[in-house]
């Protein structure tokens, strides 16, 4: 578990380790590697408690993020893995911690927090270049000197932890393969942008039923592409409707999507399913059309409504409310209800519940994180339920 042997005594003889276990549910290998000197473990745990855990000017989230960006910059797989888990265990809301570690600049953090992390990284990397103007910039973002002091000390704490972990050869407490891939420490697919891919298993082979047709198209077999069109037209059409909201316009866009896919099929690298790639093209096509129409309502924005959606019509529904209507009537009611949803909720509900994409695939095509997807899906589903309630509830059955 580390380069040097720890003490042979069991953990119950180290009260500090028991405290740590009761707080985090596990004893980090970082401390296990130091059991030859329990007094130093006590001192370090006290330091962590005073700097990171104890309430101060910065929030715990800000302090954890500072720790993450510095640890990632120092390529400390151990510290990044441990603190990604700790962020999750604490239920800290915000972007995926791996995204912060990998590249906080492309996350949806507020600009002030990005500025805080930028300076933390600069201090971590190029300490001699830090000047008073950097501190003034943080002040301009609204940080008081107490915040800045804590940031500087957090950077120091991260360096300390990173270097101790390196020196002792501490093995990560959790599966580190994902973090190592993201930090470029393990074989990975080529990545031009340091953006965390919401699809977790980028290295596992993708089971794609289209792979043969794609490869035949690339070798010039046009009938193979006809088959891809036939296979995916209905779903691509629905993706377009979900965004442009207008069936006629979606029909117009359909042809462009497939022609563009044909044109660029050489650049499809098989990192995702062909349908996922095709859906991205459809989303771009539809977004372009919305832009042309100058629709300002964004479906891609990452903000989440703060106030939870509360169901209003809570009348119970019968066992099979769909039996109240013919198939054609039902379809029309569902379509009308879907079109009443704001775009960003309509798109996730249609991709996930109508087109049956998995949560991971939906997040990937919309380029949002899984937590952002889930938040929108919940709201979208509840809004859709509300829109259908007047025609599906028991009151409707009695009319």
Partner 1 sequence: MFSCEDVLAELSDYLDNELAEALRKQVEEHMVHCRTCRAVYDSTRKTLRIVTESGSFELSEDVSSRIAASIREKIRAKHANPGDIPRS
Which of 134, 322 has the CB closer to partner 1? 322
> Where does this chain bind partner 1 (CB under 8 A)?
217-218, 220, 222, 225-226, 229-230, 233-234, 237-238, 241, 247, 250-251, 254-255, 258-259, 262-267, 308, 310-311, 314-317, 321-322, 327, 330-331, 334-335, 338, 349-350, 353-354, 356, 359, 374, 377-378, 381-382, 384-385, 388-389, 392-393
Between the alpha carbon of residue 304 and those of residues 59, 91, 158, 309, 358, the distances in Å are 21, 17, 31, 11, 21
Shortest Å, Cβ 309 to partner 1: 8
Nearest to 131 by CA among 144, 146, 119: 119
Shortest Å, Cβ 351 to partner 1: 12
d(CA 258, CA 237): 11
Half-sphere exposure of 207 (CA within 13 A, CB side): 0
The beta-strand segments (E) located in the chain are: none
Handedness of CA 137, 143, 149, 152 (dihedral sign): negative
d(CA 91, CA 348): 24
Bridge partner residues of 317 (DSSP): 393
Shortest Å, Cβ 277 to partner 1: 13
Task: Please spell the DSSP secondary structure of 299-349, one letter per residue.
Answer: SS-----SSPP-----PPB-S-GGGGS-HHHHHHHHHHHHHHS-HHHHHHH
Which of 153, 350 has the CB closer to partner 1? 350
Shortest Å, Cβ 350 to partner 1: 8
Shortest Å, Cβ 344 to partner 1: 15
Residue 101 contacts residue 72 (beta carbons within 8 Å): yes
Nearest to 122 by CA among 130, 112, 113, 132: 130
Which of 48, 382 has the CB closer to partner 1? 382
Shortest Å, Cβ 322 to partner 1: 5
Shortest Å, Cβ 129 to partner 1: 44
With a CB cutoff of 8 Å and minimum separation 6, the contacts of 7 are 35, 36, 38
d(CA 48, CA 58): 15
Residue 375 contacts residue 309 (beta carbons within 8 Å): no
Which of 105, 326 has the CB closer to partner 1? 326
Shortest Å, Cβ 225 to partner 1: 6
Which of 174, 317 has the CB closer to partner 1? 317
């Amino acid at each position: 578990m580390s380069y040097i042997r720890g003490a042979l005594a069991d953990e119950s003889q180290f009260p500090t380790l028991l405290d740590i276990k009761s707080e985090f549910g596990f004893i980090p290998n970082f401390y296990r590697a130091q059991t030859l000197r329990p007094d130093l473990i006590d001192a370090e745990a006290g330091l962590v408690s005073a700097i990171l855990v104890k309430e101060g000017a910065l929030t715990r989230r800000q302090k954890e993020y500072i720790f993450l960006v510095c640890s990632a910059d120092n390529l400390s797989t151990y510290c990044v893995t441990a603190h990604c888990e700790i962020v999750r265990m604490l239920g800290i809301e915000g972007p995926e911690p791996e995204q912060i570690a990998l590249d906080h600049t492309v996350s949806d953090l507020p600009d002030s927090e990005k500025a805080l992390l930028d300076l933390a990284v600069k201090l971590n990397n190029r300490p001699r270049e830090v000047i008073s103007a950097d501190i003034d910039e943080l002040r301009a973002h609204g940080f008081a000197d107490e915040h800045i002091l804590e940031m500087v000390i957090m950077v120091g704490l991260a360096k300390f932890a990173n270097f101790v972990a390196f020196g002792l050869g501490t093995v990560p407490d959790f599966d580190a393969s994902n973090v190592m891939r993201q930090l470029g420490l393990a074989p990975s697919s080529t990545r031009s942008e340091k953006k965390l891919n919401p699809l977790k298993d980028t290295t596992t082979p993708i089971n794609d039923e289209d792979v043969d047709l794609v490869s035949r198209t690339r070798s010039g077999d046009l009938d193979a592409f006809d088959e891809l069109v036939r296979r995916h037209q209905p779903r691509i059409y629905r993706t377009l409707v979900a965004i442009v909201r207008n069936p006629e316009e979606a029909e117009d866009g359909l042809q462009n999507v497939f022609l563009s896919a044909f044109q660029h099929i050489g650049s499809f690298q098989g990192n995702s399913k062909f349908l996922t790639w095709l859906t991205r093209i459809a989303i771009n096509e539809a977004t372009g059309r919305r832009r042309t129409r100058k629709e300002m309502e964004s479906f891609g924005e990452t903000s989440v409504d703060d106030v939870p959606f509360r169901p209003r019509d809570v009348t119970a529904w019968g066992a099979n409310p769909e039996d109240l209507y013919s198939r054609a009537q039902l379809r029309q009611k569902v379509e009308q209800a879907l079109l009443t949803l704001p775009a960003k909720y309509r798109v996730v509900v249609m991709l996930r519940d109508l087109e049956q994409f998995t949560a991971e695939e939906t997040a990937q095509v919309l380029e949002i994180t899984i937590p952002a997807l889930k938040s929108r899906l919940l709201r979208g589903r509840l809004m859709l339920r509300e829109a259908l309630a007047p025609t599906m509830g028991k009151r409707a059955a009695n009319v």
